Amino acid sequence: MKTNLFTIGLGGVIGNEEDGPFIGKERLLTLEETLRMAEVSLRKNSKEGKTGCGWMRLPYEDIGPIGSVAEKIVGFDSIVQVGIGGSALGNLMLNDAFLHPYHNELSRKERKVPRFYMADNPDPKGLSAIWDCIDPERTAFIVVSKSGSTAETITLFLWFFEALSERLGPEKALSRFVFITDPEKGILRVLAEKGALASLPVPADVGGRFSVLSAVGLLSAMGLGLPVSELLEGARLMDDHIKKARGIWENPAWLLAALHFLHFVQGRHMTVTMPYSDGLERFAEWHAQLWGESLGKGGKGSTPIRALGAIDQHSQVQLYVDGPDDKLFTLIDVKKKEPELHIPSVEMEEMSPVFYLGGHTFSDLLTVEAQSTAAALMKAGKPVIWMEIPCLDGIRLGALIFLYEMVTALTGHLLQVDPFDQPGVEQGKRYTYGLMGRAGFGSDAAEASEGFGKVLGIALSV
Ligand code: PA5
């Protein structure tokens, strides 16, 4: 039996010559062969374990070892994950899609699984707030860092470790930590071998922002009872669909990569992802990192913008509709939103102007709002990709994840940039190491100081 994953609609994206942006079917078709070759080469690189290409293998991996570690953490009262960027955003996306929005406020009986806190930004306010909320003695800490050296993650880890050591002593404290890091190198690997609760590898050929379907994203997901098997099945279904597609009209990854590339070339240097579902708000955030960090290179790459329907209708849509034609829009509608809640039909005469709303579901309202935004954008000649998802479940989210990873990798090929490196991020990391006094990074510190010294300060004293 066939599974309807989702439908992709093109709203003025290809255009006609009279009005709106014009791409034309012919231009899309000219990219078909390039995309076919790019996909073949990605798959070959993945099989050969080439840097960055391991994500294609993840939906097929044995998750047994991750499940065994999840069993060790599920009995704790809380889980704190320490990580940043690709070591955090995938987890937040999965939680947003599947956990109760106020998960941590539910009783243990209601939520059945531990509370979850993400420590990603090393802001003392957020850090101490997490400590205030947890019972440290009944908390498991998952530290995720592929490199094992990211300053934000290491400092957060050191803080939690010291605070916990003061309560339990260093040995017992360490036994509350799970490390997800490089399989062989880095300081976290050393600690992992010294009496940690457990450790799992970040596969060497998988980059942070492509790692959500590895232990990085799946350990907390399993510990929190999220539909991990369905996620992986959805990713495999999408992979299969892409593999079997015979041309650009059947292959959503080729189509979306080609459209993003051609609109970028036409000067649409921003790409807006706007789901009409709270459960996909963090998907837009995850996608923003995937897209921005993978493609922003050598003066190229469209800027990802995350928006949320209907909230941004009352914030950004004026600009989107009536502002400059420099954006490609992806609107995502989830057809069946849970729970099904109806807008009450009231009989008070004073309320007669709003009688028309009564009886509809809130789900219908959001869908209509999404359609209205799409129509308004198209009327203004702005290009819209319309994604319609029957419901937000593991299968659909897994399929979306795999699809957008493939679209990102293929768009990188069209833009002729390496989607799997991040020299700009590494530069910032080196400056931070240098300025914080790490040995061997003296010249980075000097360069950063010199660069920052050019900032013009204007003192505002009153
Ligand atoms: O995608 C990436 O490579 C980055 O966003 C990393 O995930 C992020 O910088 C954190 O790096 P690490 O996992 O090495 O601590």
Give catalytic status of residue 454 as yes or no.
Answer: no
pLDDT score recorded for residue 16: 63
Q: Are residues 183 and 139 in the same domain?
A: yes
Residue range 179-190, pLDDT digits in tens: 999 988 889 999
Ligand 1 close to Cβ of residue 434 (< 6 A): no
Ligand 1 close to Cβ of residue 268 (< 6 A): no
Given ligand 1 and candidates 53, 118, 147, which is best to mutate, with the most ligand atoms within 8 Å of its CB? 147
Q: How does residue 21 score in pLDDT terms, banded at 50, 70 and 90?
A: low
pLDDT score recorded for residue 19: 57
Cα 87 to middle of ligand 1, angstroms: 6
- State which ligand 1 atom lies nearest to the alpha carbon of 293: 1
Ligand 1 close to Cβ of residue 208 (< 6 A): yes
Supply the mean pLDDT for the chain: 95
Residue range 53-103, pLDDT digits in tens: 999 999 999 999 999 999 999 999 999 999 999 999 999 999 999 999 999
In a domain, 56, yes or no: no
Which of 226, 260, 275 terminates a domain? The answer is 226
Q: How does residue 164 score in pLDDT terms, banded at 50, 70 and 90?
A: very high
Q: Are residues 428 and 388 in the same domain?
A: no
Q: Are 302 and 260 in contact (CB under 8 A)?
A: yes
Task: Please identify which of the residues 244, 314, 347, 454 carries the catalytic annotation.
Answer: 314
108-134 mean pLDDT? 97
Per-residue CA distances from 112 to 108, 109, 123 (Å) = 5, 5, 30
d(CA 438, CA 391): 49
Q: How many independent structural domains does the chain possess?
A: 3
Q: Are residues 222 and 255 in the same domain?
A: no
Q: Which domain holds residue 98?
A: 61-226
Ligand 1 close to Cβ of residue 408 (< 6 A): no
pLDDT score recorded for residue 15: 75
Residue range 305-328, pLDDT digits in tens: 999 999 999 999 999 999 999 999
Residue range 174-231, pLDDT digits in tens: 999 999 999 888 899 999 889 899 999 999 999 999 999 999 999 999 999 999 999 9
Q: Are residues 265 and 374 in the same domain?
A: yes
Ligand 1 close to Cβ of residue 21 (< 6 A): no
262, two tokens: 């051609």
d(CA 386, CA 333): 8
Cα 11 to middle of ligand 1, angstroms: 35
> Does the pLDDT of residue 17 top 70, yes or no?
no
DSSP string, 405-420: HHHHHHHHHHHTS-TT
In a domain, 460, yes or no: no
Residue nearest to atom 9 of ligand 1 (CA): 85
Residue listed under structure tokens 């000097």: 446
Residue range 318-364, pLDDT digits in tens: 999 999 999 999 999 999 999 999 999 988 999 999 999 999 999 99
Q: Are 196 and 179 in contact (CB under 8 A)?
A: yes
In a domain, 455, yes or no: no
Cα 293 to middle of ligand 1, angstroms: 10
Percent of the chain residues topping a pLDDT of 70: 99
Cα 208 to middle of ligand 1, angstroms: 5
In a domain, 54, yes or no: no
d(CA 67, CA 215): 9
Give catalytic status of residue 314 as yes or no.
Answer: yes
Residue 148 is classified by DSSP as: S
Percent of the chain residues topping a pLDDT of 90: 90
Residue 278: CB atoms within 10 A of its CB come to 17
Q: Are residues 201 and 346 in the same domain?
A: no
Q: Are residues 384 and 300 in the same domain?
A: yes
Ligand 1 close to Cβ of residue 425 (< 6 A): yes
Q: Are residues 326 and 430 in the same domain?
A: no
Indicate the SS3 state at residue 322.
helix
Residue nearest to atom 8 of ligand 1 (CA): 85
Residue 135: CB atoms within 10 A of its CB come to 10
- State which ligand 1 atom lies nearest to the alpha carbon of 85: 5
In a domain, 459, yes or no: no
Which of 211, 226, 241 terminates a domain? The answer is 226
Ligand 1 close to Cβ of residue 150 (< 6 A): yes
Q: Are residues 267 and 297 in the same domain?
A: yes
pLDDT score recorded for residue 359: 94
Q: How does residue 286 score in pLDDT terms, banded at 50, 70 and 90?
A: very high
Nearest Cα to 272, choosing from 5, 13, 7? 13
In a domain, 152, yes or no: yes
Given ligand 1 and candidates 51, 81, 82, 87, which is best to mutate, with the most ligand atoms within 8 Å of its CB? 87
Cα 215 to middle of ligand 1, angstroms: 14
d(CA 293, CA 291): 6
Q: Are residues 222 and 235 in the same domain?
A: no
CATH code of residue 143: 3.40.50.10490
Nearest Cα to 260, choosing from 316, 319, 305, 327? 327
Bridge partners, 272 (sequence order): 305, 329
Which of 209, 226, 243 terminates a domain? The answer is 226
Ligand 1 close to Cβ of residue 301 (< 6 A): no
120-140 mean pLDDT? 97
Give catalytic status of residue 293 as yes or no.
Answer: yes
DSSP string, 26-75: HHHHHTHHHHHHHHHHHHHHHHTT-TT-GGGTGGGS--HHHHHHHHHHTT
Q: Are residues 281 and 299 in the same domain?
A: yes
pLDDT score recorded for residue 48: 95
Q: Are 336 and 396 in contact (CB under 8 A)?
A: no
> Does the pLDDT of residue 18 top 70, yes or no?
no
In a domain, 95, yes or no: yes
Q: Are residues 243 and 189 in the same domain?
A: no
Cα 422 to middle of ligand 1, angstroms: 9
- The beta strands (E) that lie in 100-197 are given as 115-119, 139-145, 177-181
Rounded to the nearest 5 percent, the helix, strand and coil shares of the chain are 55, 15, 35
Nearest Cα to 374, choosing from 317, 440, 326? 317
Q: Are 73 and 79 in contact (CB under 8 A)?
A: yes
Cα 210 to middle of ligand 1, angstroms: 10
Residue listed under structure tokens 């406020």: 105
Nearest Cα to 209, choosing from 430, 418, 419, 397? 419
Strand pairing report for 115-119 and 270-275:
unpaired
In a domain, 362, yes or no: yes
Ligand 1 close to Cβ of residue 153 (< 6 A): yes
pLDDT score recorded for residue 461: 86
> Does the pLDDT of residue 281 top 60, yes or no?
yes
Strand pairing report for 7-11 and 384-391:
antiparallel
Side by side, the strands of the sheet bearing 270-275 are 7-11, 384-391, 327-336, 270-275, 303-306
d(CA 398, CA 386): 18
Cα 346 to middle of ligand 1, angstroms: 52
Residue listed under structure tokens 């959001």: 366
Q: Are residues 337 and 253 in the same domain?
A: yes
